[in-house]
Amino acid sequence: MLQSTTEEWEWKTQIGLYQKDNIIISGYSIEDLINNIDFGSAIYLVLKGELPNENQTKMINALLVSTIDHGISPSEAVSRYLAAAGSPVQASIAGGLLMFGDFHGGAMQAMAKELQEEMEKIGESGESIDKKAAQIVAEHRQQKIPLNGFGHPDHPQGDPRAPVLFKRARELGIAGDYTKLMLAIERELEKAVGRKIPVNIDGAFGAILSDLGFDWRVARGFIIISRSAGLLAHYYEEVTKERPWRRGPKFSYTGPGPRKLKS
């Protein structure tokens, strides 16, 4: 019997551990956590290794509530197609979550990255946030790279979730420099293009998650956690209310006309 020549590769984690008689997460026993904290706090704990304060928990919950559903948008359509095909609930949800690509939740991540990188430069240079915002807008326009986090095709007058989240972030004392920078970019963008293109949900998440101290690499994850619940609801509705095997969309064929391999 031959053995593979695989070198050992260690598995290690600071997040959690199961033992024969316990599960610990970041040093806390699972019993302690189940009895005392809510899910929003647990998310903060696994990502940061520390518990949030009360207002941070409220802000995380507000973010998760805001994106739980958006009617039958593409992620929901995907989950429902999969449910209708008889794929199980984990596949229906997983498939829908694959929708959070670079042009969807990915904008959230890109926005958070840009805010965090620019803020670091502000820290070093002592520049003002307003000046930095003007510079960001100018650079994007010069290099013709679209700014992430603005506009929404389904909400031409502005994504209704963004202002509510920013207001909540201010009430809870979470809104800080990242939110300031984001809103300054919105103002500078308006000056530059001559009309307001409001911050969307991606921009709001990017700014507020940065103000909560999260690395941009996890920003997209928050909409994924949130929407997993909405997709579960759409899975359930599809399998209980609709006939199986949902048809695909009506489409046009624009390829070559009839031809034959052998005449």
Q: How far is CA 42 from CA 1, 31, 45, 246, in A?
A: 46, 13, 5, 38
State both tokens at 262.
């052998």
At its nearest, how many Å lie between a copy of itself and the CB of residue 53? 14
Q: How far is CA 243 from CA 87, 204, 238, in A?
A: 14, 38, 8
249 interacts with a copy of itself by CB under 8 A? yes
Q: Nearer to a copy of itself by C-beta: 126 or 250?
A: 250
Interaction residues for a copy of itself, span 99-118 (CB under 8 A):
99-106, 109
213 interacts with a copy of itself by CB under 8 A? no
**Contacts (Cβ under 8 Å, ≥6 apart) of 46:** 15, 16, 25, 26
Q: Nearer to a copy of itself by C-beta: 187 or 246?
A: 246
User: How far apart, in whole angstroms, are the C-alpha atoms of residue 124 and residue 76?
Assistant: 43
Among 27, 117, 123, 125, binds a copy of itself (CB under 8 A): 27
Interaction residues for a copy of itself, span 28-67 (CB under 8 A):
28-40, 42-43, 46-47, 49, 51, 60-62, 64-66
Among 124, 142, 145, 257, binds a copy of itself (CB under 8 A): 257
For the four alpha carbons of 201, 205, 211 and 215, in that order, the dihedral sign comes to negative
Binding mask 152-171 for a copy of itself (x = CB under 8 A): -xxxxxx-xx--xx--x---
CB 112 within 8 A of CB 219: yes
Kindly indicate which of the ranges 17-25, 122-130, 134-142, 177-185 contains the residues binding a copy of itself, using the contact rule CB under 8 A.
17-25
Which class for 245: exposed (0-12), middle (13-18), buried (19 or more C-beta within 10 A)? exposed
Among 52, 56, 82, 182, binds a copy of itself (CB under 8 A): 82
